[in-house]
Structure 1
Amino acid sequence: MSKVSYYTAEGLKKLREELKQLKDVERVKASRAIAEARDKGDLSENAEYDAAKEAQGMLEMRIAKLEDQMAGARVIDESQMDTSKILVLSKVKIKNQTNGMEMNYTLVADGEADLAAGKISVNSPIGKGLLGKTVGDVAEIQVPNGIIKFDIVEISR
C-alpha cells in the first residue's frame, strides 16, 4: 500500500518523466540485452545472461517503486497553505544558536530533496524538527552529535 506524499507540480512532473523513461526506453534496452545474451549459447554458464536478468530485475523494482510513489502522490496547492507556520514547501530561514550561522531551506517531499539546492525532506531530522514551528520559535533537533537549537527567523512560500 502506498503512503501519501506531497509534491510540487514540478516534482511530480519529474517523477512521471522518469517513470516514462524507464518503461519506454530502459525496459526495451533490458529485453534486448537479455535476448543478445541468450543467443550466445548455454545459459547455465552465461554470466552476461545472468547480469542482464539481474539488471532487468533491478529495473522492474525501480519501476514498481515509482508506480507506488505515483499512486500516493498529491500536488500541493500553495495558495491554500498557511504561511504563519512551517509546512511542506515552506521556505525557512533558520539561525543556529551555537555558531550564529543562518541557513535557508525549502521543505519538500522525499523525492525532491536536494541539499545542494537548499531543499530538505520533511522526513529528515531537520525537516521533522521544523514542521509546525512559527517565526520566533526555537527548534530543538536531535542529530547524531546531540541536539542543535535553531531560531526560526523567517517563513515564506
Structure 2
Amino acid sequence: MSSIPISVEGFQRLEKELHNLKKDRPEIIQAIKEAREEGDLRENSGYHAARERLGLLEARISFIESRMPQFNIIDLATLGGDKAIFGATVEIEDMDTGDKKRYTLLGPDEAEPTKGSISILSPVGQALLGKEAGDEIVVNAPRGRIQYEIISIRFNGSGAPKN
C-alpha cells in the first residue's frame, strides 16, 4: 500500500507519540549508562531492562517515521455521502443474533475496536467499503460466517463515533 489513509486527529496523535518517544530517549540512555557503571552486566537486571526499553522505543520510532511519508491525511469534517467509506460511522446488525454494533471506519494506524473504530483493512471494514444502508454483508470470522445488515451510515466529522 503506497498511501495509507489517516484522519487529521489520528495523524496528530502519532506526531505527539513520536515527539514523546523522542523525549523519553535521553532518560533511557541515562538509565543504561548508570546501570553500566554498576559493574558486571551479565547479572545486571536494570541494565538489561533499560536496553530492552530502548530497543522497543527505537523500534516504535522507526516504525512511525517510516509510515509518515505514506500517510494520506484526510479531514473527516469534509466527508459525506451514503456509502461506507473511510471516515463513515456505520451501524450494523448481526442477522442471526440481532446484536447491533457501530463502527467508524479508519486507517490501520488509528483504529481502536474497543473505542468504536475499525480499520478499513479489517475483514469487517473490507466487507463494508462501498456498501449502503440496507445492504447485507458476510464476514468470515473465527467463529464462522457472520451475516450483517447495514442499518445506517453517517459522517460525524470526528474519528470517534457519536452516540
Partner SS for 1:83: coil
Residue 7 of structure 1 pairs with residue 6 of structure 2: yes
- The residue number in structure 2 matching 1:118 is 116
Q: TM-score, normalised by structure 2?
A: 0.85
* Cα separation, 2, equivalents of 1:45 and 1:103: 51
Which of 153, 156, 161 is 1:155 aligned to? 153
Q: Deviations over 1:50-98 (max 9, x none)?
A: 3322221111111101112222122114466451211111111111111
Residue 128 of structure 1 pairs with residue 126 of structure 2: yes
- The residue number in structure 1 matching 2:142 is 144
The change in CA–CA distance for 1:38 and 1:151 in structure 2 (over 3 A counts) is: same
The change in CA–CA distance for 1:57 and 1:3 in structure 2 (over 3 A counts) is: farther
Farther-moved stretch of structure 1 (12-21 vs 144-153)? 144-153
Q: Give the residue type in structure 2 aligned to 1:53.
A: R
Q: Give the residue type in structure 2 aligned to 1:104.
A: R
The change in CA–CA distance for 1:43 and 1:96 in structure 2 (over 3 A counts) is: closer
- The alignment of Structure 1 onto Structure 2 pairs a total of residues equal to 155
Which runs of structure 1 show a deviation greater than 3 angstroms over 4 or more consecutive aligned residues? 42-47, 77-82
Provide the identity percentage: 37
Does the CA-based 8 Å contact 1:106-1:119 persist in structure 2? yes
- The residue number in structure 1 matching 2:19 is 20
Instruction: Please give the residue correspondences for 1:44-63 in structure 2 after superposition, counting only pairs within 5 Å.
Output: 44-63=42-61
- The residue number in structure 2 matching 1:87 is 85
* Cα separation, 1, equivalents of 2:4 and 2:52: 29
The change in CA–CA distance for 1:49 and 1:132 in structure 2 (over 3 A counts) is: same
Segments of 5+ residues of structure 1 without an aligned counterpart are: none
Partner SS for 1:88: coil
Does the CA-based 8 Å contact 2:8-2:75 persist in structure 1? no
Does the CA-based 8 Å contact 2:79-2:87 persist in structure 1? no
- The residue number in structure 2 matching 1:67 is 65
Does the CA-based 8 Å contact 1:3-1:69 persist in structure 2? no
Higher helix share: 1
Deviation (angstroms), 1:136: 1.8
